[in-house]
Amino acid sequence: MQPNPLDGIWRLVEARAIDQHGQPLPPPYGHAPLGTVQIQDGRMLAALCNGDAGLAPGFAREYVSYGGPCGFDGEQLTTEVDLSARPDWLGAPQIRQAELTGDRLVLRPPLREYGGVMQRRELIWERVWRPRG
């Protein structure tokens, strides 16, 4: 199996969102986002949540996790979801535009609705561990 240049453990350092008209939205995982992605041996596992100490009244803590077999073609990370906290993601591919620069990875999910608002998100990751070899 060809090594995947994304193999390793990644830490979420920033998450941004804009609406469908290009207007900035509050950070989707708060000002202290928590997230990790592990990619190894053709599988991916991700978990992300709002890591802020407190939330404003009426706001829910955003959380997502999913995983499955994955592949990277140099421009897209595609995961065939076989486990997820969101049942509607099971059995369907999750495709992210991916930009890798050294140990920095930017993932961009497609435009989709979150909390009733169509959004484009950008997730910025840094690699914290790389397998040897």
In the chain, domain spans? 8-127
Q: Over 90: is that where the pLDDT of 95 sits?
A: yes
CA distance 23 to 68: 33
CB 29 within 8 A of CB 21: no
What's the whole-number mean pLDDT along residues 89-109? Answer: 97
Q: How confident is the model at residue 1 (pLDDT cuts 50, 70, 90)?
A: low
Percent of the chain with pLDDT over 70: 98
pLDDT digits over 10-26, tens only?
A: 999 999 999 999 999 99
Helix or strand or coil: residue 44? strand
- Is domain 8-127 given the CATH code 3.30.70 in the classification? no
CA distance 62 to 128: 23
CA distance 25 to 91: 30
pLDDT digits over 57-66, tens only?
A: 888 889 999 9
CB 28 within 8 A of CB 114: yes
